[in-house]
A and B are shown apart, each in its own frame.
Chain A
Amino acid sequence: MAAHTQPGRPNQLFRNLNSKIASIPMMLTAVVIFLGGTIWTVVYSFTNSKLLPRLSFVGLEQYERLWDTPRWIVSIQNLATYGCLSLIFSLTIGFLLAALMDQKIRFENTFRTIFLYPFALSFIVTGLVWQWILNPEFGVQSVVRSLGWTSFTFDPLYNSDIVIYGILIAALWQGTGLVMCLMLAGLRGIDEDIWKAARVDGIPMWKTYLFIIIPMMRPVFVTTLVIIASGIVRIYDLVVAQTSGGPGIASDVPAKYVYDYMFFAQNLGQGFAASTMMLLAVAIIIVPWAYLEFGGRKRG
């Protein structure tokens, strides 16, 4: 594992031959499955494949239809709303929880377990639990009503305008625990001396966090961001379990559109076009950012 560089040595190709051979299966998987599958999908998105893939090209027809479809537009809007809010809230809440946890409180282990526990549940279970909690007839609404407020209404999952927030609540409940743990690890990685120095200089605690600790935690934030962002783009199972896209199509997301058109509508071409758009969106956001973050310069 030691990375001694020995310049001038011949046969670079055969250096570490064993590890190179060992990584061939993974390289093949990456190239054939990921790259090959992606290219295949993009190629077939220009065809009019229905139930079975067929190579009869129709140009951009599938894409024109896609951007003409109200359901696709709704699902993009939902993803944008959900993505922005989920990013902001899970980072804020996660960091706040971690900061509170870092105050050398008692029973820290217990709290940490409690906060992280929802992450152990799958999205399907999370979705079902929150479907029941938010159901007006069994959940929060009926509890509050039985306490006396009979006009209390809280049925986000049955209201087209706010249904995406109902899903957001469930996603935050499930995901913030993990963010908290990552943040906590980052906080623990900060040298005690920094805190001492800040205290000697008389800097208030919130300022220390905001201007010293958070900038120092940049790598942790980047990792967390990647984890949250990938979770946002692939959101599917939570929506299916909680609302199955309803009411109507109000809580639809791109991944669900792709699935529905590929398998329910028996229109592979349309589904491929939609998934290519998803890939494109991810690429537009991720590639320049990843280049800046990891490629452009070396950080000291």
Chain B
Amino acid sequence: MNIRSMAAVLAATVMLPLGAAHATDLEVTHWWTSGGEAAAVAELAKAFNATGNKWVDGAIAGSGGTARPIMISRITGGDPMAATQFNHGRQAEELVQAGLMRDFTDLAKKEGWDKIVRPVGLLKSCTFEGKIYCVPLNIHSWQWLWLSNDAFKKAGVAVPKNWDEYVAAAPALEKAGIVPLAVGGQAWQSTGLFAVLTVAIGGKDIYQKVYGDKDAKVAAGPEMAKVFKAADDARKMAKGTNVQDWNQATNMVITGKAGGQIMGDWAQGEFQLAGKKAGVDYTCLPGLGVNEVISTAGDAFYFPVLKDAAKTKAQEALASALLDAKTQVAFNLKKGSLPVRGDVDLAAANDCMKKGLEILAKGNVVTSTDQLITQDTQKQLEDLMSQFFANTSITAEEAQKRFVAIFSKAG
């Protein structure tokens, strides 16, 4: 009797983990820590928890630049998390090559990812030697100019409709004590801004030739000189920003302390969180109002190879949950990004998101810099751009020379 009940208890303890095999804790690392981002992540966690598993949040503050080295050293150091965010493209390239990431080709075939994910380039960025290694989650585009309607009212000028009008309005803003353009001090912000100027001022082809083909001749050409001239304007307009994080800079636009900001559409989450309405309180200009083109960068989840069988199984549940139509809508509405599925209903989307969807539907897209250049090149560009924006003694011509040098050696 005694032994039997003991056995029963023992069996129960063995059965319990077996019976609840899918109730597994998965640690997910990401760098979504601003208010709007955290709200969006909560949606993902909710969707994953609904599958009977448990989302263990591993947020790393300080944006991608800080988070990625931590994630990578954990994966290469043999202590991988169950899933992690990266941007689409070449950030995880070597990890995949080294066989540290899990292959999801079977699940992708079963669920027909190639049919639902749009644009197709997104899934292509996840593919390496014919196998799929990541789950695209959203589409983020960098090419947005966010303008504070209040700031322009205060300065007594009309809200600009394109980059040139904006530059022309800068002196009036300055006179009213408003920083015309908010640019945070972190290097990736000025670097991203420059890529946006390249697409908007230089055009789609120039952008593709410089960032895609690493064509040093085009990089040294007169078209890029125009872009550098615009960057020179931008750094003059950005003088006096004195904040570091992008969301602090966005907050300057929200509170009307700054006229505008060139920042990806993730800034929209901040506007939304602050209760601002697109078109009324703020204006968004895709492609700076010059070239209405957006890049299809975004976030994707990568799944490191794990030894634990239960966790490996749960990874699949997470992957399906991320691409689920409902999750896609809930997450992207909060995040301000566009869903990777073309078949979901986004009636609740605001004006700016609708603009983005329209451009996407027209196919006016470019490949993002994350997909085109390596982290090494990116870092070199960041060094150049952050110095260019901080130090006005470097002329646009000098900066262009160094820009050309970087691309002539880029791989």
A contacts, CB < 8 Å to B: 50-52, 65, 68-71, 74, 136-137, 158, 160, 244, 246-250, 260-261, 263-267, 270
Find A52's partner among B94, B242, B378 (CB 8 Å cutoff). B94
User: Could you say which of A137, A158, A249 has the most chain B C-beta atoms within 10 Å of its C-beta?
Assistant: A249
Contact indicator A266/B376 (Cβ below 8 Å):
yes
A249 surroundings in chain B (CB, below 8 A)? 383, 386-387, 390
Considering only CB atoms, which chain A residue lies closest to B72 in the complex?
Answer: A51
A244 surroundings in chain B (CB, below 8 A)? 185-186, 244
Nearest CB of chain A from residue B85's CB, rounded to whole Å = 16
Within 8 A of A (CB), among B172-226: 185-186
Nearest CB of chain A from residue B375's CB, rounded to whole Å = 4
Contact indicator A265/B185 (Cβ below 8 Å):
no
Contacts A51-B72, A137-B242, A158-B242 hold; do A248 and B376 have CB atoms under 8 A apart?
A: no
B65 surroundings in chain A (CB, below 8 A)? 264
User: In the bound complex, how far is the Cα of B76 from the Cα of A52, in angstroms?
Assistant: 8
Does B282 count as interface, using CB distance less than 8 angstroms? no
Considering only CB atoms, which chain B residue lies closest to A259 in the complex?
Answer: B69
Does B14 count as interface, using CB distance less than 8 angstroms? no
Considering only CB atoms, which chain B residue lies closest to A49 in the complex?
Answer: B94
Contact indicator A247/B73 (Cβ below 8 Å):
no
A260 surroundings in chain B (CB, below 8 A)? 379
Q: Interface on chain A toward B: helix, strand, loop, or mixed SS?
A: loop
Contacts A263-B73, A267-B379 hold; do A51 and B95 have CB atoms under 8 A apart?
A: yes
Does B68 count as interface, using CB distance less than 8 angstroms? yes
User: In the bound complex, how far is the Cα of B402 from the Cα of A212, in angstroms?
Assistant: 56
A74 surroundings in chain B (CB, below 8 A)? 387
Considering only CB atoms, which chain B residue lies closest to A68 in the complex?
Answer: B405
Contact indicator A71/B72 (Cβ below 8 Å):
no
Find A246's partner among B98, B185, B388 (CB 8 Å cutoff). B185
Contact indicator B390/A250 (Cβ below 8 Å):
yes
Interface size, B (range): 20 to 34
B387 surroundings in chain A (CB, below 8 A)? 70-71, 74, 248-250
A68 surroundings in chain B (CB, below 8 A)? 405
Does B13 count as interface, using CB distance less than 8 angstroms? no
B242 surroundings in chain A (CB, below 8 A)? 136-137, 158
Considering only CB atoms, which chain A residue lies closest to B76 in the complex?
Answer: A52
Considering only CB atoms, which chain B residue lies closest to A249 in the complex?
Answer: B387
Give 19 new A-B contacts, CB below 8 A, not counting A70-B402, A158-B242. A51-B76, A51-B93, A65-B409, A69-B380, A70-B384, A137-B242, A246-B386, A246-B390, A247-B386, A247-B391, A248-B388, A249-B387, A250-B391, A261-B376, A264-B375, A265-B375, A266-B94, A266-B376, A267-B376
Considering only CB atoms, which chain A residue lies closest to B390 in the complex?
Answer: A248
Does B144 count as interface, using CB distance less than 8 angstroms? no
Nearest CB of chain A from residue B128's CB, rounded to whole Å = 14
Does B389 count as interface, using CB distance less than 8 angstroms? yes
Considering only CB atoms, which chain A residue lies closest to B93 in the complex?
Answer: A51
Closest A-B pairs by Cβ, 4 of them: A248-B390, A265-B379, A263-B69, A247-B390
Contacts A158-B242, A247-B185 hold; do A264 and B383 have CB atoms under 8 A apart?
A: no
Does B374 count as interface, using CB distance less than 8 angstroms? yes
Considering only CB atoms, which chain A residue lies closest to B62 in the complex?
Answer: A244
Nearest CB of chain B from residue A271's CB, rounded to whole Å = 11
Contact indicator A69/B383 (Cβ below 8 Å):
yes
Nearest CB of chain B from residue A263's CB, rounded to whole Å = 4
Considering only CB atoms, which chain B residue lies closest to A243 in the complex?
Answer: B185
Contacts A52-B94, A158-B242 hold; do A266 and B390 have CB atoms under 8 A apart?
A: no
User: In the bound complex, how far is the Cα of B356 from the Cα of A271, in angstroms?
Assistant: 40
Within 8 A of A (CB), among B354-411: 374-376, 378-380, 383-384, 386-391, 402, 405, 409
